[in-house]
Amino acid sequence: MPAATPVPTVATARIRGGPLAPGIKGTVQFSPVQGGTWVSVYVEGLPPYQPAKGNKAPIGPFGFHLHEFGDCKVGDPAEPFMAAGEHWNPAKQPHGNHAGDFPVLFSNGGRAVMGFFTDKFTVSQVIGKSVIIHENPDDYRSQPAGDAGRRLACGVIKQGY
């Protein structure tokens, strides 16, 4: 009888801020649960909220997405983490319904703690992708990516804790 392929019990992204917000750090964990995946988030060092002024978007709540590639190279410091690609969207859904569309992060004193359930992917499917925190809130309607602004922090999803 062939050996069964092991199913990862957990995957983790260690989040690190880039040149636009170097103080950000945290973890995002992906755990299998009945019918889907539980995502647990702990992030600190987020910039203070700034309301929208004139034609400038607010800073925070923070767009939060799963991106195609596990590549957190900074690249251009003014537009960091572009090597992570676009939102992960294996089912080719419109924005707002991508597998990579996560709830925004609300912070208090620079800290965000959140957990949510999704049935859009398994833990195995996200290993090797990246998690990105954006400067602005996602509007969940602009195509293809929600107009969430610059990328502040990134973490590659790896099997284990």
Look up the CATH number of domain 11-159: 2.60.40.200
Give the contacts of 53 (CB within 8 A, at least 6 positions apart): none
Cross-strand partners of 40: 29, 115
Instruction: Check: pTM over 0.85? Answer yes or no.
Output: yes
Confidence of residue 27 (pLDDT cuts 50, 70, 90): very high
Mean pLDDT of 30-43: 96
Mean pLDDT of 9-29: 96
Q: What beta strand segments (E) does the chain contain?
A: 11-17, 25-33, 36-44, 64-67, 112-118, 130-134, 151-159
| Sequence ranges of the domains in the chain | 11-159
Does residue 86 contact residue 93 with C-beta atoms inside 8 Å?
A: no
Q: What is the mean pLDDT of the chain?
A: 89
Give the contacts of 3 (CB within 8 A, at least 6 positions apart): none
Which residue type occupies 8? P
Q: Is 74 exposed, middle or buried (0-12, 13-18, 19+ CB in 10 A)?
A: middle
Confidence of residue 4 (pLDDT cuts 50, 70, 90): low
pLDDT at 142 over 70: no
Report how far residue 20's alpha carbon sits from residue 65's, in angstroms, rounded to the nearest whole number: 17
